[in-house]
Amino acid sequence: MNVEKLVAADHRKDWRKFAEVMFKLEDADPGYMLLKRAKLDQATKMRYVLAWCTYYNPGVAAVACQFQGAKFYEYLRRVYPSAKRASERRHFRGQAGQKALMQWQDLYPKPEAMIEATHGTSYLQVRKNMQHMAQMGDYFYWKLADIWDTVFDEVVDFTGCEKYMPKVPQQGAEIIGNLEARADGGLVATVNMITRHITNIPYPVKGDRKLALQEAETVCCVFKQHVVGDYQYGFRSAKAWKRLQGVEGRPAAALREGLLAGGIWTPETLEQVAGHL
């Protein structure tokens, strides 16, 4: 793999090629890839998901998921002042985040039970199940529905849910719609067009199931980041790898192995890409 050439690739005017390369590199949602392939039991994976929802930091989540019950929440509170947050969790600070952790623990002393409680057969059901959960808004409603569908192989129906896509994917859909100069326009028409294009792209983490609306949402999200200069191929995988580096414990090791299990990336190529972040 020529990492320098890969990182320099510019497909800002060709969303179709962009989507094909992104999925080929398993860089659409590497967080799903590594978690699904990690040799960890279901309860540990669920604790990882909940911890991931706090700071959106795989390294912190890999440590937290080793703990059960009160010790899980104690760890998340202990690292609260210093934990590095991804942009998706930039507002999980101050009293709001601390109160959310308290509410979660009061409602779900077993942290994996909180993830179990989100389960639904449709996006709208997952969304309804999460309404009472503090600091869990539109972004995480979609994320948890997607995780159930992709990581845990519990098929979730996203049909007709385009309007619930988070803000950045909707912006990406608008960019793609403008590139196509679509006469019909509109979010639904654009996302349907994207879905039709990606439906037969191979994506091992989905098994035999075809890519659908939830993956079209990812295309929109990451393409927008590519257009504005925040994403080049491999960035998502390299960020996950970087966060997991130096983290001790079996979960972190299993997650690193899960990221490499697809045979796309090596530690060396991920380090090279990380050098461009």
Region 191-216: what's the mean pLDDT?
A: 93
What's the one-letter identity of residue 92?
A: F
Q: Tell me which DSSP letter residue 210 carries.
A: P
Q: What is the pLDDT of residue 189?
A: 93
Q: Which residue, chain included where needed, has tokens 């509410």?
A: 103
- Give every CB contact of residue 183 below 8 A, 6+ residues apart in sequence: none
Q: What is the pLDDT of residue 184?
A: 63
In a domain, 234, yes or no: no
Count of residues for the chain?
Answer: 277
pLDDT in tens, 131-169: 999 999 999 999 999 999 999 999 999 999 999 999 999
Cβ-based burial of 13 (10 A; exposed 0-12, middle 13-18, buried ≥19): exposed
In a domain, 252, yes or no: no
Kindly report each contact of residues 116-124 with a partner whose C-beta sits within 8 Å and lies 24 or more positions away, as own/partner: 116/46, 118/144, 118/148, 119/148, 119/154, 120/145, 120/148, 120/156, 121/154, 121/155, 121/156, 121/157, 122/156, 122/157, 122/158, 122/159, 123/156, 123/157, 123/158, 123/161, 123/164, 124/161
In the beta sheet, which residues pair with residue 157? 122
Residue 185 has pLDDT above 80, yes or no: no
Q: What is the pLDDT of residue 121?
A: 97
pLDDT in tens, 92-130: 999 999 999 999 999 999 999 999 999 999 999 999 999
In a domain, 215, yes or no: yes
In a domain, 87, yes or no: yes
Residue 11, Cβ neighbours under 10 Å: how many?
Answer: 18
In a domain, 25, yes or no: yes
Q: Tell me which DSSP letter residue 205 carries.
A: G
Confidence of residue 17 (pLDDT cuts 50, 70, 90): very high
What percent of the chain stands above pLDDT 70?
99
In a domain, 262, yes or no: no
Region 77-83: what's the mean pLDDT?
A: 94
Confidence of residue 70 (pLDDT cuts 50, 70, 90): very high
Residue 183 has pLDDT above 60, yes or no: no
Per the structure, the count of domains in the chain is 1
Provide the token pair at 29.
């949602």
In a domain, 244, yes or no: no
In a domain, 178, yes or no: yes
Q: What is the pLDDT of residue 182?
A: 61
Q: Render 26-92 in DSSP notation, one character per residue.
A: T-S-HHHHHHHHS---HHHHHHHHHHHHHH--HHHHHHHTT--HHHHHHHHHHTTTTPPPPGGGTT-
- Domain of residue 92: give its range: 3-228
pLDDT in tens, 243-271: 999 999 999 999 999 999 999 999 999 99
Residue 3 has pLDDT above 60, yes or no: yes
